[in-house]
Amino acid sequence: MIEKLAELEKRYLEIEEKLSDIGVMSDMEAYKKYSKEYKSLTPIIDKYREYIRAQADITDSDDILSTESDIEMRSLAEEQKEQAKATLEETAEALKVLLLPKDPNDDKNVIIEIRGGAGGDEAALFSYVLYRMYTMYAESAGYKCELLYANETELRGFKEVSFMIEGEGAYSRFKFERGVHRVQRVPETEAQGRIHTSTVTVAVLPEVEDVEFELNMDELEITRHRSAGAGGQHVNKTESAIRIIHIPTGIVVDCQDERSQNKNKDKALKVMKSRLAELERNKKDQALASERKSQVGTGDRSERIRTYNYPQGRVTDHRIGLTLYSLEYFLNGKLDEMIDALITADRAARLNAGEE
Sequence spans of domains, the chain: 2-98, 110-289+298-349
Of 14-18, 224-228, 274-278, 324-328, the range with the lowest mean pLDDT is 224-228
User: What percent of the chain has pLDDT above 70?
Assistant: 87
Pick the range with the lowest mean pLDDT from 126-130, 134-138, 291-295, 349-353. Answer: 291-295
Q: Which of 120, 113, 117 is nearest to 182 (CA)?
A: 117
Residue range 212-241: mean pLDDT, rounded:
66
Residue 356: is its pLDDT beyond 60? no
pLDDT digits (tens, 9 = 90+) for 265-309: 888 888 888 888 888 777 766 654 443 344 344 444 456 899 999
Which residues are bridge partners to 244 per DSSP? Answer: 222, 253
Give the model's pLDDT for residue 236. Answer: 43
> Dihedral of CA 26/27/28/32: which sign?
negative
110-289+298-349 placed in CATH 3.40.50.300 = no
Count CB neighbours of 110 within 10 A: 26
Tell me the backbone φ, ψ of residue 17, rounded to 5 degrees: -65, -45
Does pLDDT of 62 surpass 90?
yes
**CA–CA separation, 34 and 96 (whole Å):** 24
Residue 38 in contact with residue 15, Cβ under 8 Å? Answer: yes
Tell me the pLDDT tens digit for each residue of 166-210: 998 999 999 999 999 999 998 866 667 788 999 999 999 998 875
CA 254 to chain CA centroid, Å, is 24
Distance (Å, rounded) from C-alpha 265 to C-alpha 271? 10
pLDDT at 102: 84
- Residue 257 pLDDT > 70, yes or no? no
The answer on pLDDT for 230 being more than 90 is: no
Least confident of 3-7, 71-75, 262-266, 337-341: 262-266
Confidence of residue 229 (pLDDT cuts 50, 70, 90): low
Average pLDDT, the chain: 85
What are the C-alpha distances in Å from 119 to residues 122, 187, 331?
5, 10, 19
